[in-house]
Each structure stands twice: as structure tokens, then as C-alpha cells.
Structure 1
């Protein structure tokens, strides 16, 4: 795949940045596409832009704020609390987000001559989001190919990794410190280790702690 192009669906967070490093190792040319969907913290887009600039990859932002005309959720509305009640989707779920993002990423990929799409979704650590499941990704891959008469391949390097596994992957890619220091995962818009209290920060930081303990014990290489 070294002579092929790839497009990374990129938010500037831990997962997509790890995927970006993975793409840079596996493809000859890499571009990123970031989506402005009215997220609570526009800092996310600027973090993504800075990372793309630093790593020397193409960066494109697409306006997807139309999502907010159709639904309300805690990622786009500051007046909605971040909650995760048992048996219900978390309030941070944005209906149709990955469906739309990957569809538009495919259109962009086609425009620049790429058939490879990379996304950081994970069924192991997906917070209950239905559009992070492997079955959805495989189904969408077929639909995109039929709809556009192309042979896209959606790559999901993190699909079967928990957060400790994602940290292990970033370490193996030589990007552990970069991901630790320069990404933004926090729901409160605080880079690096974040606020430490929101669900995203807890997942990220507990995963790092678990990985470092395993590494120190020699459980991982």
C-alpha cells in the first residue's frame, strides 16, 4: 500500500491521531478530513489542523453543521448534560455522524484519487455507539462501493483494541508522547490529559495507566 493514497477521518483526538500515524506508516500519501458539526469546542478543529500541519499532511475541513438542524445531543449543545444511563445511548451520541462523515470522506477520497478510508472507530471501546460497530462499517463499505461504483476499503486499525491497546499501538508507532501531549479528547475541550472527569478523559487516562503498568511489568513489548 506504500504507493497508494489514504484519507483519514480526523478529529485531532487520541484515536484518530493514532490512526494518522498508522496511515503514515502504511501509505505513500495521506490526507486528513475534519468535520465541523457544531461541536461544543471548536478547539478540536484547530488541534486537528496543527497536528496535520506538523506531520505534513493535507488538511480539509467540511461543514456538517446541518446535523444540528435535525437532532440535539451533548456534543453539540452545552445545555445538554453528558450522561450515560444504563440501557440507553449516551447523550453524547450524534445520530448519523459516522454514516455522514465516512460518506463525505469517500467523496473527498474519490476526488483526490484515493480508495482507502481510515477511521478510529472501535467496537471494543465504543461507548455504546451503534455506528462504531464492525458490522456497520462493513455494511457501509459495501454501500459506498455500490453507490459510487468504486472499490473503497475502510480501514479500522482500532476496531478490536481497548484504550490500553490503542496506547500500545501508538507507542509501537513511535507516537506515544505525541499523542499524550498534542491531542484533544476531552469533552470539556482541554488538550492532553484533559479535565480528568468527563467519560472521555476517564477512558483515555485509565487506558494509559493500564498500558504503562503492563509495559513496566513486561506484559507488552
Structure 2
């Protein structure tokens, strides 16, 4: 019997990362989830990450503690209002919005690389998309390719020839609707996930931030209602 290959899966608790975790599991990997408490303004997404990890199944779940608030620069880590919109058509002008956290995916992937080397894993999964997104520069294919090239010269395991790291971004060319359909085909329960940038104190999604609107449009294109807006608030 072939031993399963280990993989590190970046798991925020959102729709995309839940889908990617399900994909890694379906492709036969032994997934080790990695989430972050990075100074984000709400903890509800980490509660969602725990629910998703339990539901889909992981072989380990690490929550790393870092504090990106020391730099600020984002509505997610500083005292800056999260922008709200009338519709998803207003989102994605090509410029990174104020919800962009400077270099966040670079930081997260660097931690994932360290975790992968410790595990003896050569595979990292990340749920970025360059189709339905808000203009974040670290969600583009050229960023993923550049980080993968960096990883191949940045670790002892790579230099020794025991790691040939591959960064998997299986959603990068999918629309939000296509991502949701892929997850539904794999049995993902999206009511467990949380994507909102500006939830209520009770953890309910606002429905009007860029993340909520892009997610909601994806469900609507499939003739579905986003369970984050339809379901009761889940705080644990």
C-alpha cells in the first residue's frame, strides 16, 4: 500500500480554503492544516477553520500566532473601516483595496514552507483565485510561481534534494461559482465556513463587504443562497 503524501493546507476558515482542503483530501494527500491568528479584528474565522478541519478531516491542525497589527496598513488589522458596496459589480477595480493585508500570503506561505519542511512534505495548498477576487497582488499566478521558485532554494531540504516543493493553487483559474460547485461535488458544507471581513459582534456575515458580495454572487450564479447569510450565526 502506498503511503499518502503529506501536504500543508492553508486554512482560513473561508469558502476557498475549505474547498482546497477538500481537494487535497480527495487527491489522496494527508492534509495538515495551518491557520493564523495574525491580529485580525475578529476570531470567528478561526472558529470556522476548526469546524472545517474537523468536518473534512485533517492529520493535524496548527494555529500559528503572529501579529501583523504592528505594521497596520489594512482594514483587517488596523482601526480602518471596512468598505461596503451595493453590489459585487463594484468590487475588483484592479487596485488592491484597503482590506489587503501587506504581504500576507507571502508571510503565510513562508510559515507553510517551514511547516512542510518539518513534516517532510513537498506540497503546499493555498486557496487563491485570480478570477473572482478583489485585486490582491498575492493572488496571481505569477506570485505563486515566484514563491515556488523561492522555496526551492530557501530550505535545507530543497538544497539537500529531499524536498522539491510544489505550491498548489487549484482554484486560481476558477470563478467563485466554479469553486463552490467543485466544493459541493466534494461534499463541502459551506455553512461551516466564514468569509466576511466585517461580521457583527455575534459573528453574522455583513453581506456587503467585498468578500461577502463575491461569495454571494458565486452562490447566486448556481441558483443557490449563501448559507452564511441564510443560516443562524455559528460561533463555535
**TM value normalised by structure 1:** 0.87
TM-aligned CA distance change 1:192 to 1:71, over 3 Å:
closer
The SS at the match of 1:79 is: coil
Shift of 1:169: 0.7
Unaligned 5+ runs, structure 1: 214-221
Q: Deviations over 1:146-182 (max 9, x none)?
A: 111231110011000111111111122122xx01x11
Say whether the 8 Å CA contact 1:23–1:30 is kept in structure 2: yes
The SS at the match of 2:222 is: helix
Shift of 1:27: 2.5
Say whether the 8 Å CA contact 1:73–1:80 is kept in structure 2: no
The SS at the match of 2:220 is: helix
Structure 2 distance, partners of 1:11, 1:189, is: 15
The SS at the match of 1:212 is: coil
Structure 2 distance, partners of 1:75, 1:155, is: 26
Say whether the 8 Å CA contact 2:82–2:197 is kept in structure 1: no
Structure 2 distance, partners of 1:76, 1:141, is: 27
Alignment of 1:183-198 (within 5 A): 183-189=193-199, 194-198=205-209
Shift of 1:52: 1.3
Structure 2 distance, partners of 1:53, 1:171, is: 17
Structure 2 distance, partners of 1:137, 1:94, is: 17
> Match for 1:100 among 94, 98, 107?
107
> Match for 2:167 among 154, 174, 180?
154
TM-aligned CA distance change 1:169 to 1:110, over 3 Å:
same
Aligned residues: 209
Q: Deviations over 1:37-72 (max 9, x none)?
A: 11111111121112212333111011121x221232
Structure 2 distance, partners of 1:16, 1:192, is: 19
Alignment of 1:6-21 (within 5 A): 6-21=7-22
Structure 1 distance, partners of 2:175, 2:123, is: 24
Shift of 1:85: 8.8
Question: What RMSD in Å do the two structures reach over aligned CA positions?
Answer: 2.2
Q: What is aligned with 2:124?
A: 117
Unaligned 5+ runs, structure 2: 85-90, 225-236
Alignment of 1:1-221 (within 5 A): 3-57=4-58, 58-65=60-67, 67-82=68-83, 86=93, 88-148=95-155, 149=158, 150-175=163-188, 178-179=189-190, 181-189=191-199, 194-212=205-223
